[in-house]
Amino acid sequence: MTTAAATVPRAEARVSSGLWRDALRRLLRNRPALLGLFLIGVFVTVAVLAPVIAPADPLARFTWNPPSGPPPGPAANHLFGLDRQGHDEFSRVIFGARISLFVGVISVIMGLAMGGVVGAIAGAAGGRIDNVLMRVVDVLLAVPGILLAIGIVAWLDRGLVQIMLAVAATNAPIFARLLRGSLLAIRESDYVLAARALGASGPRLLFRHMIPNALTPMIVAATLALATAIIDVAGLGFLGLGPPDPRTAEWGTMLTDSTVALRSAPHLIFFPGVAIIISAIGFNLLGDGLRESLDPRLKR
Protein backbone atom coordinates (compact mmCIF):
# COMPACT_ATOMS: atom_id res chain seq x y z
CA MET A 1 0.00 0.00 0.00
CA THR A 2 2.83 2.41 0.83
CA THR A 3 4.59 1.72 -2.46
CA ALA A 4 1.40 2.28 -4.42
CA ALA A 5 0.69 5.51 -2.55
CA ALA A 6 4.16 6.82 -3.29
CA THR A 7 3.82 5.91 -6.97
CA VAL A 8 0.83 8.24 -7.50
CA PRO A 9 2.70 11.55 -6.82
CA ARG A 10 5.67 10.48 -8.98
CA ALA A 11 3.41 9.56 -11.88
CA GLU A 12 1.50 12.82 -11.51
CA ALA A 13 4.75 14.81 -11.49
CA ARG A 14 5.94 13.18 -14.74
CA VAL A 15 2.62 13.81 -16.49
CA SER A 16 2.43 17.38 -15.19
CA SER A 17 5.96 18.17 -16.36
CA GLY A 18 5.17 16.87 -19.83
CA LEU A 19 1.96 18.88 -20.03
CA TRP A 20 3.73 22.12 -19.05
CA ARG A 21 6.47 21.55 -21.65
CA ASP A 22 3.84 20.88 -24.29
CA ALA A 23 1.94 24.03 -23.27
CA LEU A 24 5.12 26.11 -23.49
CA ARG A 25 5.80 24.83 -27.01
CA ARG A 26 2.27 25.75 -28.09
CA LEU A 27 2.60 29.18 -26.49
CA LEU A 28 5.85 29.90 -28.34
CA ARG A 29 4.11 29.07 -31.63
CA ASN A 30 1.23 31.46 -30.87
CA ARG A 31 2.06 34.76 -32.59
CA PRO A 32 -0.58 36.91 -30.86
CA ALA A 33 0.62 35.59 -27.49
CA LEU A 34 4.23 36.41 -28.40
CA LEU A 35 3.14 39.92 -29.40
CA GLY A 36 1.39 40.27 -26.05
CA LEU A 37 4.49 38.99 -24.27
CA PHE A 38 6.59 41.55 -26.14
CA LEU A 39 4.24 44.41 -25.20
CA ILE A 40 4.27 43.28 -21.56
CA GLY A 41 8.07 43.09 -21.66
CA VAL A 42 8.26 46.67 -22.92
CA PHE A 43 5.74 47.76 -20.28
CA VAL A 44 7.66 46.10 -17.44
CA THR A 45 11.03 47.37 -18.71
CA VAL A 46 9.74 50.94 -18.91
CA ALA A 47 8.24 50.68 -15.41
CA VAL A 48 11.38 49.24 -13.83
CA LEU A 49 13.83 51.55 -15.63
CA ALA A 50 11.68 54.68 -15.46
CA PRO A 51 14.30 56.79 -13.62
CA VAL A 52 16.86 55.86 -16.29
CA ILE A 53 14.62 56.21 -19.36
CA ALA A 54 12.73 59.38 -18.41
CA PRO A 55 14.47 62.48 -19.80
CA ALA A 56 13.24 64.72 -16.98
CA ASP A 57 11.87 64.66 -13.46
CA PRO A 58 8.09 64.08 -13.76
CA LEU A 59 7.54 66.92 -11.27
CA ALA A 60 9.90 69.40 -12.98
CA ARG A 61 8.17 72.37 -14.60
CA PHE A 62 9.05 73.95 -17.92
CA THR A 63 7.80 77.18 -19.45
CA TRP A 64 6.63 78.01 -22.96
CA ASN A 65 5.82 81.09 -24.99
CA PRO A 66 3.35 82.61 -24.87
CA PRO A 67 2.60 81.52 -21.29
CA SER A 68 -1.12 82.14 -21.84
CA GLY A 69 -1.23 79.79 -24.83
CA PRO A 70 -1.98 76.06 -24.83
CA PRO A 71 0.78 73.70 -23.69
CA PRO A 72 3.10 72.83 -26.59
CA GLY A 73 2.79 69.49 -28.33
CA PRO A 74 5.49 66.97 -29.24
CA ALA A 75 8.89 68.46 -30.06
CA ALA A 76 12.53 67.41 -30.12
CA ASN A 77 13.17 68.50 -26.52
CA HIS A 78 9.83 67.16 -25.22
CA LEU A 79 8.80 64.08 -27.21
CA PHE A 80 5.21 64.02 -25.93
CA GLY A 81 4.95 67.77 -25.27
CA LEU A 82 4.13 69.45 -21.97
CA ASP A 83 1.00 69.30 -19.82
CA ARG A 84 -0.88 72.30 -18.44
CA GLN A 85 1.45 72.54 -15.43
CA GLY A 86 4.56 72.43 -17.60
CA HIS A 87 5.51 68.83 -16.78
CA ASP A 88 7.22 66.74 -19.43
CA GLU A 89 4.47 64.43 -20.71
CA PHE A 90 6.87 61.71 -21.86
CA SER A 91 8.43 61.44 -18.40
CA ARG A 92 5.02 61.32 -16.72
CA VAL A 93 3.77 58.57 -19.04
CA ILE A 94 6.90 56.54 -18.25
CA PHE A 95 6.57 57.01 -14.49
CA GLY A 96 2.83 56.31 -14.77
CA ALA A 97 3.72 52.80 -15.92
CA ARG A 98 5.28 52.14 -12.51
CA ILE A 99 2.07 52.89 -10.64
CA SER A 100 -0.09 50.94 -13.09
CA LEU A 101 2.19 47.90 -12.94
CA PHE A 102 2.64 47.98 -9.16
CA VAL A 103 -1.02 48.53 -8.31
CA GLY A 104 -2.19 46.09 -11.00
CA VAL A 105 0.08 43.23 -9.95
CA ILE A 106 -0.48 43.65 -6.20
CA SER A 107 -4.24 43.98 -6.58
CA VAL A 108 -4.45 40.82 -8.71
CA ILE A 109 -2.32 38.90 -6.18
CA MET A 110 -4.58 40.11 -3.38
CA GLY A 111 -7.66 39.16 -5.38
CA LEU A 112 -6.19 35.71 -6.06
CA ALA A 113 -5.52 35.21 -2.36
CA MET A 114 -8.97 36.32 -1.23
CA GLY A 115 -10.87 34.57 -3.99
CA GLY A 116 -8.68 31.48 -3.77
CA VAL A 117 -9.42 31.00 -0.07
CA VAL A 118 -13.17 31.39 -0.59
CA GLY A 119 -13.19 29.17 -3.68
CA ALA A 120 -11.09 26.47 -2.01
CA ILE A 121 -13.34 26.37 1.06
CA ALA A 122 -16.49 26.26 -1.06
CA GLY A 123 -15.16 23.64 -3.46
CA ALA A 124 -13.72 21.39 -0.76
CA ALA A 125 -16.51 21.68 1.81
CA GLY A 126 -19.56 21.66 -0.46
CA GLY A 127 -23.04 21.54 1.02
CA ARG A 128 -24.36 24.47 3.03
CA ILE A 129 -20.98 26.23 3.30
CA ASP A 130 -20.61 26.16 -0.47
CA ASN A 131 -24.15 27.45 -0.90
CA VAL A 132 -23.70 30.40 1.48
CA LEU A 133 -20.32 31.44 0.08
CA MET A 134 -21.51 31.27 -3.53
CA ARG A 135 -24.58 33.39 -2.78
CA VAL A 136 -22.26 36.09 -1.40
CA VAL A 137 -20.11 35.77 -4.52
CA ASP A 138 -23.23 36.07 -6.71
CA VAL A 139 -24.17 39.32 -4.97
CA LEU A 140 -20.70 40.76 -5.54
CA LEU A 141 -20.67 39.66 -9.18
CA ALA A 142 -24.04 41.35 -9.72
CA VAL A 143 -22.45 44.73 -8.97
CA PRO A 144 -20.44 46.24 -11.86
CA GLY A 145 -16.76 46.09 -10.96
CA ILE A 146 -16.02 49.78 -11.41
CA LEU A 147 -19.02 50.73 -9.21
CA LEU A 148 -17.83 48.36 -6.50
CA ALA A 149 -14.33 49.85 -6.71
CA ILE A 150 -15.70 53.41 -6.55
CA GLY A 151 -17.75 52.55 -3.47
CA ILE A 152 -14.80 50.96 -1.68
CA VAL A 153 -12.41 53.84 -2.43
CA ALA A 154 -15.03 56.41 -1.44
CA TRP A 155 -15.61 54.54 1.83
CA LEU A 156 -11.94 53.93 2.68
CA ASP A 157 -10.66 57.29 1.36
CA ARG A 158 -8.13 57.79 -1.42
CA GLY A 159 -4.71 56.15 -1.44
CA LEU A 160 -2.74 53.47 -3.26
CA VAL A 161 -3.53 50.82 -0.63
CA GLN A 162 -7.24 51.62 -0.84
CA ILE A 163 -7.11 51.45 -4.65
CA MET A 164 -5.41 48.05 -4.50
CA LEU A 165 -8.04 46.75 -2.07
CA ALA A 166 -10.83 48.07 -4.28
CA VAL A 167 -9.47 46.49 -7.46
CA ALA A 168 -8.73 43.24 -5.59
CA ALA A 169 -12.31 43.13 -4.32
CA THR A 170 -13.64 43.34 -7.88
CA ASN A 171 -11.49 40.37 -8.95
CA ALA A 172 -11.85 38.14 -5.88
CA PRO A 173 -15.41 36.90 -6.67
CA ILE A 174 -14.31 35.89 -10.18
CA PHE A 175 -11.38 33.88 -8.85
CA ALA A 176 -13.54 32.33 -6.12
CA ARG A 177 -16.17 31.06 -8.54
CA LEU A 178 -13.56 29.84 -11.01
CA LEU A 179 -11.55 27.87 -8.43
CA ARG A 180 -14.67 26.45 -6.83
CA GLY A 181 -15.95 25.19 -10.19
CA SER A 182 -12.60 23.63 -11.02
CA LEU A 183 -12.39 21.87 -7.66
CA LEU A 184 -15.91 20.48 -7.99
CA ALA A 185 -14.97 18.96 -11.34
CA ILE A 186 -11.59 17.68 -10.15
CA ARG A 187 -12.66 16.01 -6.91
CA GLU A 188 -14.47 13.28 -8.86
CA SER A 189 -11.48 12.64 -11.13
CA ASP A 190 -9.86 9.20 -11.21
CA TYR A 191 -6.56 10.34 -9.68
CA VAL A 192 -8.33 12.05 -6.77
CA LEU A 193 -10.49 8.98 -6.15
CA ALA A 194 -7.37 6.80 -6.33
CA ALA A 195 -5.51 8.99 -3.84
CA ARG A 196 -8.52 8.94 -1.52
CA ALA A 197 -8.68 5.14 -1.77
CA LEU A 198 -4.98 4.96 -0.89
CA GLY A 199 -5.67 6.81 2.35
CA ALA A 200 -4.82 10.44 1.51
CA SER A 201 -6.25 12.88 4.06
CA GLY A 202 -8.60 15.73 3.17
CA PRO A 203 -5.96 18.50 3.35
CA ARG A 204 -3.51 16.38 1.35
CA LEU A 205 -6.13 15.74 -1.31
CA LEU A 206 -6.90 19.45 -1.52
CA PHE A 207 -3.37 20.88 -1.55
CA ARG A 208 -1.49 18.02 -3.23
CA HIS A 209 -3.91 16.72 -5.83
CA MET A 210 -6.79 19.18 -6.38
CA ILE A 211 -5.53 22.77 -6.19
CA PRO A 212 -2.38 22.18 -8.32
CA ASN A 213 -4.57 20.73 -11.07
CA ALA A 214 -6.98 23.68 -10.83
CA LEU A 215 -4.27 26.30 -11.38
CA THR A 216 -4.49 26.37 -15.18
CA PRO A 217 -7.71 28.42 -15.42
CA MET A 218 -6.53 30.58 -12.51
CA ILE A 219 -3.32 31.48 -14.35
CA VAL A 220 -5.29 32.49 -17.43
CA ALA A 221 -7.80 34.46 -15.37
CA ALA A 222 -5.04 36.26 -13.45
CA THR A 223 -3.34 37.32 -16.69
CA LEU A 224 -6.59 38.69 -18.08
CA ALA A 225 -7.35 40.32 -14.72
CA LEU A 226 -4.13 42.33 -14.98
CA ALA A 227 -5.52 44.05 -18.08
CA THR A 228 -8.76 44.80 -16.25
CA ALA A 229 -6.85 46.04 -13.19
CA ILE A 230 -4.85 48.53 -15.26
CA ILE A 231 -8.06 49.87 -16.79
CA ASP A 232 -9.79 50.02 -13.39
CA VAL A 233 -6.90 51.92 -11.82
CA ALA A 234 -6.94 54.40 -14.69
CA GLY A 235 -10.72 54.67 -14.41
CA LEU A 236 -10.53 55.50 -10.71
CA GLY A 237 -7.86 58.10 -11.43
CA PHE A 238 -9.98 59.62 -14.19
CA LEU A 239 -12.92 59.93 -11.78
CA GLY A 240 -10.75 61.74 -9.23
CA LEU A 241 -10.31 58.71 -6.96
CA GLY A 242 -6.68 58.05 -7.82
CA PRO A 243 -3.58 58.79 -5.72
CA PRO A 244 -4.24 61.63 -3.26
CA ASP A 245 -1.26 63.69 -4.44
CA PRO A 246 -2.43 65.44 -7.65
CA ARG A 247 1.18 65.68 -8.84
CA THR A 248 1.50 61.88 -9.00
CA ALA A 249 2.18 60.62 -12.52
CA GLU A 250 -0.77 58.27 -12.98
CA TRP A 251 -2.37 57.62 -16.35
CA GLY A 252 -5.99 58.08 -15.26
CA THR A 253 -5.22 61.34 -13.46
CA MET A 254 -3.36 62.54 -16.55
CA LEU A 255 -6.47 61.87 -18.64
CA THR A 256 -8.54 63.96 -16.23
CA ASP A 257 -6.14 66.89 -16.49
CA SER A 258 -6.22 66.68 -20.28
CA THR A 259 -9.99 67.15 -20.62
CA VAL A 260 -9.69 70.88 -19.85
CA ALA A 261 -7.49 71.46 -22.91
CA LEU A 262 -8.75 68.63 -25.08
CA ARG A 263 -9.12 70.65 -28.30
CA SER A 264 -6.11 72.92 -27.92
CA ALA A 265 -3.73 70.20 -26.66
CA PRO A 266 -4.98 66.76 -27.83
CA HIS A 267 -1.57 65.22 -27.11
CA LEU A 268 -2.40 65.32 -23.39
CA ILE A 269 -5.09 62.66 -23.77
CA PHE A 270 -3.53 60.75 -26.66
CA PHE A 271 -0.31 59.47 -25.10
CA PRO A 272 -1.58 58.25 -21.69
CA GLY A 273 -4.62 56.78 -23.46
CA VAL A 274 -2.42 54.85 -25.88
CA ALA A 275 -0.28 53.62 -22.96
CA ILE A 276 -3.37 52.21 -21.22
CA ILE A 277 -4.61 50.55 -24.42
CA ILE A 278 -1.25 48.98 -25.32
CA SER A 279 -0.63 47.57 -21.83
CA ALA A 280 -4.17 46.15 -21.61
CA ILE A 281 -3.90 44.62 -25.10
CA GLY A 282 -0.61 42.98 -24.13
CA PHE A 283 -2.09 41.18 -21.13
CA ASN A 284 -5.23 40.22 -23.07
CA LEU A 285 -3.21 38.73 -25.93
CA LEU A 286 -1.03 36.78 -23.50
CA GLY A 287 -4.07 35.61 -21.55
CA ASP A 288 -5.77 34.33 -24.70
CA GLY A 289 -2.56 32.61 -25.75
CA LEU A 290 -2.21 30.95 -22.35
CA ARG A 291 -5.80 29.72 -22.54
CA GLU A 292 -5.15 28.09 -25.92
CA SER A 293 -1.82 26.65 -24.79
CA LEU A 294 -2.94 25.27 -21.43
CA ASP A 295 -6.26 23.81 -22.57
CA PRO A 296 -5.54 20.30 -23.92
CA ARG A 297 -8.83 20.33 -25.85
CA LEU A 298 -7.38 23.05 -28.10
CA LYS A 299 -4.28 21.01 -28.90
CA ARG A 300 -3.78 20.56 -32.64
Which residue did the predictor score with more confidence, 174 or 291? 174
Which CATH number is 134's domain given? 1.10.3720.10
Task: Assess if residue 219 is contained within a domain.
Answer: yes
Task: Assess if residue 32 is contained within a domain.
Answer: no
Tell me how far the alpha carbon of residue 171 is from its chain's centroid. 9
Task: Assess if residue 26 is contained within a domain.
Answer: no
Number of domains in the chain: 1
pLDDT at residue 279 greater than cutoff 90: yes
**pLDDT tens by residue, 44-61:** 999 999 999 998 888 888
Task: Assess if residue 22 is contained within a domain.
Answer: no
Q: How confident is the model at residue 9 (pLDDT cuts 50, 70, 90)?
A: low
**pLDDT tens by residue, 195-242:** 767 766 667 777 776 777 788 889 999 999 999 999 999 999 998 888
User: For residue 17, what pLDDT is reported?
Assistant: 62
Task: Assess if residue 40 is contained within a domain.
Answer: no
The answer to whether 171 touches 229, Cβ cutoff 8 Å, is yes
Task: Assess if residue 12 is contained within a domain.
Answer: no
Q: To the nearest whole percent, how much of the chain has pLDDT over 70?
A: 88
Most confident range (mean pLDDT) of 170-179, 256-265, 289-298 is 170-179
pLDDT at residue 157 greater than cutoff 90: no
User: For residue 74, what pLDDT is reported?
Assistant: 85
User: For residue 154, what pLDDT is reported?
Assistant: 87
- If you average pLDDT over residues 63-91, what whole number do you get? 83
User: For residue 1, what pLDDT is reported?
Assistant: 45
Task: Assess if residue 82 is contained within a domain.
Answer: no
Containing structural domain, residue 220: 46-52+92-298
Task: Assess if residue 110 is contained within a domain.
Answer: yes
